[in-house]
């Protein structure tokens, strides 16, 4: 396939470009910097003329730019290009789900959403029912994330979302709960508006809730306090936090748990996204989530992560 990676030289885009090439795809990068982009274009340009020109000869567009504009999706699919996006932003996902694309659009292709979707679907298959299913996402605070990813995380502060099962308002980074994380012990994680819980609650027919934290307990507690401080989401994004690059995502219901862990969130996201891009070949037109087109067992063995599962026997 010929993939066009939007933001293909950024913190997530560069490893995604490399991972796509490792899988044998031809890759062109797109972005505003003509020194680094194979196909320079401004994704905020009125009419998207440069972006539309950059789509020439492309099979799939992989959005690693952080730009969340449904017009980018429509412009690509109107030309018969597939579109892949690892976004975790609920409102943007809903807007894309409202489109009627002429080509396949694949969402939820990173760690969270993405890997969390596959873990949740696997737990649901092993333990069907209507009991709540919980997701845990712990990311490394020490990794140098891109500006868009950092701004997204800070943007959670002080904002509320609707619980996907009950419709009740939930303030981000509240409703803390201790979760047993393999290899890390008990960590207190907090509700956060990742898009995975909304799609999964709808598709699995049971309540799904996502809780989030950082590998640093101090920083996690700090975020939970800052969510009550007006204007905290406008904090500077260039500060490199203390911590490691370790991450873990987990799905659990009762005594059944499935998880994945590794080092380097951006690298793992890139490899999962590159694999998911290949799934668009032969996929029907329309908007799909990763858990609708693949299973946890379909993940390639060479991905930079470790899988695990456990079931309580008492």
Distance CA 120, CA 118 (A): 5
Identical fold, 2-110+268-295 and 115-264+302-311: no
Distance CA 6, CA 29 (A): 6
Neighbours of 275 (CB within 10 A): 20
For 2-110+268-295, give the CATH class. Answer: alpha beta
Q: Is 44 helix (H, G, I), strand (E, B) or coil?
A: coil
Q: What are the domain boundaries of the chain?
A: 2-110+268-295, 115-264+302-311
CA 111 to chain centroid: 5
pLDDT of 313 > 70? The answer is no
Mean pLDDT of 268-291: 97
Nearby residues of 19 by Cβ (< 8 Å), 6 or more positions away: 270, 271, 273, 274, 275
The pLDDT of residue 155 is 86
What CATH code is assigned to 115-264+302-311?
3.30.360
pTM over 0.75: yes
Rg of the chain's alpha carbons, rounded to an integer? Answer: 19
pLDDT in tens, 214-269: 999 999 999 999 998 887 666 555 555 578 999 999 999 988 999 999 999 999 99
> pLDDT category, 148, cuts 50, 70, 90?
low
> pLDDT category, 107, cuts 50, 70, 90?
very high
């Amino acid at each position: 396939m010929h993939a066009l990676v939007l933001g293909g030289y950024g913190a997530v885009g560069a490893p995604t470009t490399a991972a796509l090439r490792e899988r044998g795809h031809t890759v062109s990068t797109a972005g505003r910097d003509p020194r680094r982009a194979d196909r320079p274009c401004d994704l905020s340009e009125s009419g998207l003329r440069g972006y539309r020109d950059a789509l020439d000869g492309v099979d799939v567009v992989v959005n690693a730019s952080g730009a969340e504009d449904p017009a980018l999706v429509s412009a690509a699919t109107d030309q018969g290009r597939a579109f892949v996006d690892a976004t975790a932003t609920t409102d943007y996902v809903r807007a894309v789900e409202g489109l009627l694309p002429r080509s396949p659009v694949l969402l939820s292709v990173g760690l969270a959403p993405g890997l969390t979707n596959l873990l949740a679907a696997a737990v649901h298959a092993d333990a069907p029912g209507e009991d709540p299913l919980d997701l845990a996402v712990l990311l490394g605070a020490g990794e140098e994330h891109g500006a868009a990813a950092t701004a997204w995380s800070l943007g959670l502060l002080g904002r509320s979302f609707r619980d996907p099962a009950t419709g009740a308002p939930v303030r981000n980074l509240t409703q803390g709960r201790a979760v047993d994380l393999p290899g890390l012990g008990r960590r207190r994680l907090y509700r956060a508006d990742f898009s995975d819980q909304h799609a999964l609650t709808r598709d699995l027919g049971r309540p799904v809730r996502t809780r989030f934290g950082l590998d640093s307990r101090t920083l996690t507690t700090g975020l939970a306090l800052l969510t009550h401080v007006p204007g905290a989401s406008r904090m500077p994004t260039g500060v490199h936090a203390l911590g490691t690059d370790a991450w873990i995502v987990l799905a659990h219901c009762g005594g059944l748990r499935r998880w994945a862990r590794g080092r380097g969130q951006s690298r793992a996201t890139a490899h999962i996204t590159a694999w998911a891009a290949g799934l668009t070949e032969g996929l029907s037109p329309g908007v799909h989530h990763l858990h609708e087109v693949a299973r946890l067992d379909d993940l390639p063995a060479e991905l930079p992560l470790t899988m695990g599962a456990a079931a309580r026997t008492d």
